[in-house]
Amino acid sequence: MLNNGCKRGRYAEGELLKVDLNCCSCSVCEFIMSDIDTKEKLTLEDDGSEFEVAVGKQQQQEHKQQQELRMNRKSKNGEVKERKYSLWNFWLSSLCLKLLLFPDYYSTDFDVHRNWMAITNALPISKWYFENTSQWTLDYPPFFAYFEWFLSQFVPKIVRDDGCLDIVEVGQFGWPTVVFQRLTVIISEICLFAVLQYYINTSNLNERTQSFVVASSIVLSPGFLIVDHIHFQYNAFLFSILIASIVAAKQKKYIACAVFYTIALCFKHIFLYLAPCYFVFLLRAYVLNFKDFKFKSYKDLIFIVQWRRLLKLGSIVLGIFGICFAPFIFQMPQVLSRLFPFSRGLTHAYWAPNFWAIYSFLDKILAVVMLKFPYVHRFISKFISSPLIPSSIAEIKLRMEENNNGSKGLVEDVFFVILPQIQPKLTFLLTLFYQILAVIPVLFNPSFKRFIGSLTLCGLASYLFGWHVHEKAILLVIIPFSFLVVCDRRLLSSFMLVASAGYVSLFPLLYENQDFLVKSLYTFVWCIVYFFAFRKTTQYSTSIQRRIFFLDRLAMIYISSLLVMVWSIETLDLLKINHQFLARFEFLGLMTYSVYCSVGIISSWIGLSWLYNFDEPLWLS
Amino acid sequence: MASKKKISRINKPVEESFFASPLYDFLSPFRPVSNQWLTEYIIVIFALIVRCAIGLGSYSGMGNPPMFGDFEAQRHWMEITQHLPISKWYFFDLEYWGLDYPPLTAYHSYVLGVIGSFLNKSWFALNDSRGYESENNDLKTYMRTTVIISEIIFYIPGVIYFTKWVGRHRQQSLIGQYIAAAAILFQPSLMLIDHGHFQYNSVMLGLTVYAINNLLDEFYAPAAMCFVLSICFKQMALYYAPIFFGYLLGRSLFSRKFFNISRFLSIAISTVFAFFSMYAPLYVFGGGLRNVIQSVHRIFPFARGLFEDKVANFWCVTNIFIKYKILYTQKELQLYSLIATVVGFLPAVVTILFYPKKHLLPYALAACSMSFYLFSFQVHEKTILVPLLPITLLYTSTDWNVLSFVSWVNNVGLFTLWPLLKKDGLTLQYGVCFFLSNWLIGNFSFITPKFLPKMLTPGPPVQNTEDTYHRRSLLPHNILWKIIIVSSYIVMLLIHLGEIFVSPPPEYPDIWVLMNCCLGFGCFVLFWLWNYYKIFTLANKTLQYL
């Protein structure tokens, strides 16, 4: 009970101070206690040095009780006072920033969405998926088209006169349209705040702090800021539906979970990435029942399935699809060809940081090396025969020439000089393989943690191995992962890797220099605040000895050098106007971005997969 | 030193000032000691993000040939300083944005211009680059970034140090200090003028804050030097000069012995040395005394009128009734304005001379610079930033009345900048900053419990408050002042609404701007009087009563 030193406000002064963790009686200690993470015994000094001591189990329990006490602190009149966690302030402050970003750069996606609004507003529903005046044809599922139609109903006259609702080849619009469309993003984003506020309010008292950190990290995510409010899309709104289904899954409301997921899918088909996980989870948790299962004959297998539930679930899901696609029932081939354009190439002009980015990078490196040093080719040819690599140096040159001459940019297909070409089938198989690996554990243990874990891994698998993956798809990984990471501190390294690398990989979306400071500073401060907050709120792993500190350090080094990478690429980019020789390396900057980020994302995937598949204490609930 | 420590032990820690404001809500997770070091960096980064976001908007004179605006002026100076010999800086094509700031601005422009030319030569090509505006906003981005970097170097560390110093000596909690720092850094007027309209005021103001910090730490010669540098960056810093003079003289005269001659000499020598080193390049490389005289001539444009645009000071407002320019000659007007200004600031200087106390500094600086703003010759509306600096530094106070007045005057100051910002196309930024700065310090907190459902009422509960805790907005305790302040806000709102919905009568096209000036002037005078009242009542007290 060392209380001599706990003078409120004085601990900042530099006095050494010891707080007794069990002291609840003294108000001063209580004041300080309320601030200090109870699971750490701290010896505090002004310079911020601290010692963490893992405390014993019994003590831990005491702390837990104490924490709960703290949560339900009684106010003076004896009522139980709940801690309030509100996203209101976050909404207002981010609103200010988003309003200031109005005059900023917007991508062609802005015109895309404007065009869709015009199409849905002016044309009868039967022509929506046929209209092709502009090259930005409608290629989202019908719910999104309905959403655009809904938005178009609110277009005021001044915006209409501005050319917002004209079906033209290239949009002719000005400031009013920008304001209107940006406002629709901001207003539709309120859904995200509402869903997450609901998530906070319904979570258990003892994990409310964690839920609050998760929720606020999502609403302030630099991904949404960059992609929605600068680049221009409606991701925050769409993700709010996905998050609603995650929250429903947490509360074991399986029907709601299915409904929300189906709706999300009918808004944007990118959520198909997560479909296997949802399918298996709902099947196992809701439809199948292994409780009283005793195998006597094959006939018993029939009783595993709860047919009534299956029927209910199936009819609801199919019903939603029906509502979505019914008006287009006779145009399904056209709609599907719009939704799944397989004519696109393996990667973008800017490689999304996935496995194929490294593959392409390897190919470039090998091509250069083999041309410079022919004996490398000779040496390798001894082991690998001709169809897998080019048979001679002459063929390499030929292929490179073809690659350069072939009207680049028009043909979006990627052509590898040395390594074997990649077929869509292969990417599909790889994705499916890793997704199946991710969903098998859910089949055995359909807990919420497992579900979220497999959701994240499904997202990662399709991001890493998918065909023509967009860098924006990383949100599909980071958002579910945020819900998982608070469960155990060992997941934190993996999360930090994927979040930092993923958000940094979005930077090339905003290629203009004027956005550089905004995007990099915002991402930087988000990473600092939330990595810090997650570190403070995540639960200590029950098996602390299994943390691999070396890898944690390595991850930190990787993350901090992201900053160096971003700044040096920007510097090179700035210098290239005056120093022409730097212009040759323009592609190098983008390549560095995607290769470096893909290293982080792949290692995060490996780390998470390891914990997911081989670490049992983590998944016990 | 020993006696001071004793005093601070006796005094109780001051109470939390921005209790339960959104800033407090945001920063409270950082209350634990182990997290505190992060806080200041986070505040600074968020301040920078908001500045960057404001910078995305337009600037003064954007796409408005042939003269453009302040942005073009600054760019032009970067152009001429790096391409012309120093002897021609103050003589080159005076019609087109001739250099009319003191030499440090010129050196600053020179450095930035050279760096900019390293990035892109066409930005600052001599004569060819006039009115340069690139498609992809690269020049704008560069210029915006230079403002931000200048602010990071000169202004932000000064402010943070000031709040920490005051907080430390008044036993304020760390979180309180950081909130004060954030409130100062989110001062809307400076953000909008520097990063929206485009100027480098933060350098001049920051150097002054450095000087104040040095005074607080009792380093007198460095303080004098910093202040001279501030003057040599922009002559507007002269608005503070009488107070610095009075304070330094008072400290030399009335320290422990009667006349501390060594201190006096060190101050005098360092002042002269700083001035000399600033002007030496002009004299040595720039063709002797002629260049120096020309620069001084350019800096003080007495040939210009009493006021130019509409500005919320005495001359402009009374000019509605008394047409000075017809009644009096230029010379007479100069004399009258000089007399009025001196009469205005003299009491503050005398007080600071006889009571050279640290806690009086911000008040005295505010009184003096406000006198200049209200009564002196050739005042711009942007000059309100000069009095607003010491006033805003008073956010470190924990007296509810003081905070209320500071917040009020900041709002009025921003309001008087409205015509300028509107001309620059910064309407959106004006609105957002007005809201953001007030909301952050809790001026709108009174609304939330009434409107929002309980679960949305923000914030982690402050442990020792009840659920019914009333979040106050910043208003003084006195009912009369309350009425004055609230009604001034209402009038502001009405003027804005009137401007939107009512077109002015043809004989008075400037009616809304004039009303803006009148309101601003009235509020400034009231504040100025209150400020004098504070000076006189605080003269005998200590830092605890800041």
Per-residue model confidence as pLDDT tens digits over B84-143: 999 889 888 888 888 889 999 999 999 999 999 999 888 999 888 888 888 788 899 999
Q: Do A518 and B49 touch (CB under 8 A)?
A: yes
* Listed residue (A551, A566, A573, A522) closest to A101, CA to CA: A522
Q: Is B307 helix (H, G, I), strand (E, B) or coil?
A: strand
What is the helix (H) or strand (E) element at residue B425, kind and residue range? none
Q: What residues in A contact B173, CB-CB < 8 Å?
A: 8-9, 12
How much of chain A, in percent, has pLDDT values that exceed 90? Answer: 49
Q: Are A465 and A355 in contact (CB under 8 A)?
A: yes
Residue A52's pLDDT is: 35
**For residue A11, pLDDT beyond 70:** no
**B5 — contact with chain A (CB < 8 Å)?**
no
Q: For B362-396, how does the pLDDT look when each residue is reduced to its tens digit (9 = 90+)?
A: 999 999 999 999 999 888 889 999 999 999 999 99
B368-384 burial by CB neighbour count: b if 16+ within 10 A, else e? bbbbbbbbbbbbebbbb
Q: What residues in A contact B49, CB-CB < 8 Å?
A: 97, 517-518, 521-522, 525
pLDDT grade for A43, boundaries at 50, 70 and 90 = very low
**B57 — contact with chain A (CB < 8 Å)?**
yes
In a domain? residue A390 = no
Q: What residues in B contact A533, CB-CB < 8 Å?
A: 29
Q: Do A84 and B136 touch (CB under 8 A)?
A: no
Q: Do B33 and A97 touch (CB under 8 A)?
A: no
How many angstroms separate the Cα of A114 from the Cα of each of A102, A159, A181, A227, B51? 16, 11, 8, 16, 29
In a domain? residue A517 = yes
**B390 — contact with chain A (CB < 8 Å)?**
no
pLDDT grade for B469, boundaries at 50, 70 and 90 = low
CA of B432, closest CA in chain A: separation in Å? Answer: 6
In a domain? residue A32 = yes
Q: Between B57, B436, B457, which is nearest A103 by CB?
A: B57
What is the helix (H) or strand (E) element at residue A74, kind and residue range? none
Residue position matching structure tokens 């810090």: A532
**For residue A465, pLDDT beyond 60:** yes
Structure-model confidence comparison of residues B464 and B198, the more confident one? B198
**For residue A246, pLDDT beyond 70:** yes
pLDDT grade for B471, boundaries at 50, 70 and 90 = low
Q: Are B173 and B17 in contact (CB under 8 A)?
A: no
Q: Do A517 and B145 touch (CB under 8 A)?
A: yes
Residue position matching structure tokens 């709609």: A335
B-chain residue closest to A32, CA distance: B32
Q: For B346-362, how does the pLDDT look when each residue is reduced to its tens digit (9 = 90+)?
A: 999 999 999 999 999 99
pLDDT grade for A405, boundaries at 50, 70 and 90 = low
Q: Do A101 and B53 touch (CB under 8 A)?
A: yes
CA of A512, closest CA in chain B: separation in Å? Answer: 7
**For residue A345, pLDDT beyond 80:** no
- ipTM value: 0.92
In a domain? residue A196 = no
Q: What residues in B contact A532, CB-CB < 8 Å?
A: 35, 38
* Listed residue (A443, A127, A209) closest to B28, CA to CA: A209
**B436 — contact with chain A (CB < 8 Å)?**
yes
Mean pLDDT score across all residues of chain A? 82
Q: Do A514 and B45 touch (CB under 8 A)?
A: no
Between vectors from CA B309 to CA B303 and to CA B315, what angle results, nearest 5°? Answer: 75
pLDDT grade for B449, boundaries at 50, 70 and 90 = low
**For residue A18, pLDDT beyond 50:** no
**B297 — contact with chain A (CB < 8 Å)?**
no
pLDDT grade for A338, boundaries at 50, 70 and 90 = confident
Q: Do A521 and B52 touch (CB under 8 A)?
A: yes
Q: Range of A23's domain?
A: 11-71
Q: Considering the entire predicted model, what is its pTM?
A: 0.89
Q: How many structural domains comprise chain A? A: 2
pLDDT grade for A547, boundaries at 50, 70 and 90 = low
**B41 — contact with chain A (CB < 8 Å)?**
yes
Task: Kindly give the interhelix angle for B201-216 and B361-375, rounded to the nearest 10 degrees.
Answer: 150
Separation between Cα atoms, residue A130 and residue B468, nearest integer Å:
59
Q: What residues in B contact A528, CB-CB < 8 Å?
A: 38, 41-42
* Listed residue (B520, B481, B510, B491) closest to B373, CA to CA: B520
pLDDT grade for B543, boundaries at 50, 70 and 90 = confident
Mean pLDDT of B137-154: 94
Q: Do B34 and A50 touch (CB under 8 A)?
A: yes
Choose one of A27, A46, A71: the last residue of a domain.
Answer: A71
- The count of other CB atoms within 10 Å of the CB of residue A83 is 15
Q: Do B460 and A85 touch (CB under 8 A)?
A: yes
**For residue A24, pLDDT beyond 70:** no
Q: For B32-89, how does the pLDDT look when each residue is reduced to its tens digit (9 = 90+)?
A: 766 778 888 999 999 999 999 999 999 988 888 888 889 999 999 999 999 999 988 9
Choose one of A26, A53, A71: the last residue of a domain.
Answer: A71
DSSP A497: H
Q: Do A76 and B466 touch (CB under 8 A)?
A: yes
Structure-model confidence comparison of residues A511 and A77, the more confident one? A511
pLDDT grade for A6, boundaries at 50, 70 and 90 = very low
**B461 — contact with chain A (CB < 8 Å)?**
yes
Q: Do A518 and B456 touch (CB under 8 A)?
A: no
Q: What residues in B contact A577, CB-CB < 8 Å?
A: 119-120, 138
**B456 — contact with chain A (CB < 8 Å)?**
yes
Q: Are A86 and A197 in contact (CB under 8 A)?
A: yes
Interface test with A, best of B166, B455, B466, B468 (most A CBs within 10 A): B455
How many angstroms separate the Cα of A65 from the Cα of each of A61, A537, A542, B519? 6, 16, 18, 58
Separation between Cα atoms, residue B261 and residue B274, nearest integer Å:
20
Q: For B237-260, how does the pLDDT look when each residue is reduced to its tens digit (9 = 90+)?
A: 999 999 999 999 999 988 777 788
Q: What residues in A contact B41, CB-CB < 8 Å?
A: 528
Q: Between B33, B119, B455, which is nearest A84 by CB?
A: B455
Structure-model confidence comparison of residues A565 and B509, the more confident one? A565
DSSP string, A127-151: GTTT--SSS----S-HHHHHHHHHH
Residue B181's pLDDT is: 94
Separation between Cα atoms, residue A381 and residue A375, nearest integer Å:
10
Q: Between A35, A85, A513, which is nearest B31 by CB?
A: A35
The shares of helix, strand and coil residues in chain B, as percent rounded to the nearest 5, are 70, 0, 30
Domain boundaries, chain B: 203-545
Q: Between A37, A48, A522, which is nearest B49 by CB?
A: A522
Find the radius of gyration of the CA atoms of chain A. 27
Residue B477's pLDDT is: 87
In a domain? residue A27 = yes
Mean pLDDT of B316-326: 87
Q: Do B439 and A92 touch (CB under 8 A)?
A: yes
Residue position matching structure tokens 């003057």: B231
* Listed residue (A181, A119, A186, A193) closest to A154, CA to CA: A181
pLDDT grade for A38, boundaries at 50, 70 and 90 = very low
Structure-model confidence comparison of residues A58 and B221, the more confident one? B221
Residue position matching structure tokens 């001459």: A405
**For residue A78, pLDDT beyond 80:** no
Mean pLDDT score across all residues of chain B? 88
Separation between Cα atoms, residue B170 and residue B156, nearest integer Å:
21
Q: Are A12 and A28 in contact (CB under 8 A)?
A: no
Q: What residues in A contact B440, CB-CB < 8 Å?
A: 93
How much of chain B, in percent, has pLDDT values that exceed 70? Answer: 92
Per DSSP, what are the bridge partners of residue B464? none
A-chain residue closest to B435, CA distance: A96
CA of B187, closest CA in chain A: separation in Å? Answer: 15
**For residue B324, pLDDT beyond 50:** yes
CA of A48, closest CA in chain B: separation in Å? Answer: 5
Residue A118's pLDDT is: 93
pLDDT grade for B219, boundaries at 50, 70 and 90 = very high
pLDDT grade for A141, boundaries at 50, 70 and 90 = very high
What is the helix (H) or strand (E) element at residue A400, kind and residue range? helix A393-405
